[in-house]
């Protein structure tokens, strides 16, 4: 049996409580452990959406500057962008409904910034996917928000949940990027890290 490409890799620390990111790393057969640190996720207003995602991912990684030596710290931040407006995580059910109404019948961009901190150096990148929603019925939106409580998700939805399964017509770009971690790009960057 051949070895996994990362079998002799330094330990990977995932600084994310996202079950979706954890699941994706498991599916890539990457061993990791989760360590969380509180980070202020504010950013300068002058940044473009792609820059915001990377800026926040790097901020999360810098929280580990003093804490790690030979491990690789992996951080990520996913944002949803429509009409150059950033949709964060909804603070209420009514805000979630409003966001989904805004996305209904239109294309939006999902941008994930990823940062790898290894031996005091940051290796950062981002990925962009275009997501096309069909017209969503009011009933479907209400059902989804009430049942799935998407308050931990940028843009108020998870692509792998009901509203994504019934409402998304097509995606241009990486599916896993929309889930929260562009695995194909991550794999390449990890392989070039050592």
Which of 76, 57, 71 lies closest to 119 in space, CA to CA?
A: 71
In CATH, what is the architecture of 12-191? Alpha-Beta Complex (3.90)
122-166 residue pLDDT tens: 999 999 999 999 999 999 999 999 999 999 999 999 999 999 999
Question: What is the structure's pLDDT at 1?
Answer: 53
pTM over 0.95: no
Among residues 29, 40, 65, 77, the one annotated as catalytic is: 77
Question: What is the structure's pLDDT at 3?
Answer: 82
12-68 residue pLDDT tens: 999 999 999 999 999 999 999 999 999 999 999 999 999 999 999 999 999 999 888
Going through 71-148 in order, the beta strands assigned E by DSSP cover 72-82, 85-87, 107-118, 121-133
Reading the block at residue 191, the tokens are 């392989």
Residue 77 annotated among the catalytic residues of the structure:
yes
Chain centroid, CA 12 distance in Å = 17
Q: Where are the domains of the chain?
A: 12-191
By CB neighbour count within 10 A (0-12 exposed, 13-18 middle, 19+ buried), where does 103 fall?
Answer: buried
**Between 135 and 2, the higher pLDDT residue:** 135
Confidence grade of residue 2 (pLDDT, cut at 50, 70, 90): low
How far is the C-alpha of 15 from the C-alpha of 109, rounded, in Å? 24
């Amino acid at each position: 049996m051949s070895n996994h490409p990362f079998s002799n890799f330094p330990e990977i620390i995932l600084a994310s409580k996202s079950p979706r990111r954890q699941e994706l790393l498991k599916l890539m057969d990457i061993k990791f452990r989760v360590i969380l640190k509180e980070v202020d996720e504010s950013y300068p207003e002058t940044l473009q959406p792609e820059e915001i995602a990377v800026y926040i991912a790097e901020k999360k990684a810098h929280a580990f500057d003093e804490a790690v030596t030979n491990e690789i710290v992996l951080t990520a931040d996913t944002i949803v962008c429509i009409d150059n407006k950033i949709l964060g995580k909804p603070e209420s059910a009514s805000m979630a409904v409003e966001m989904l109404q805004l996305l209904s019948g239109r294309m939006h961009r999902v941008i994930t910034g990823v940062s790898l901190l290894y031996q005091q150096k940051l290796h950062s990148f981002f990925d962009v996917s275009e997501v096309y929603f069909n017209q969503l019925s009011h009933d479907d939106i209400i059902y989804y928000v009430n049942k799935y409580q998407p308050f931990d998700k940028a843009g108020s939805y998870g692509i792998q949940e009901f509203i994504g399964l019934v409402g998304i017509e097509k995606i241009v770009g990486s599916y896993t990027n929309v889930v929260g971690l562009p695995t194909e790009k991550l794999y390449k960057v990890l392989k070039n890290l050592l």
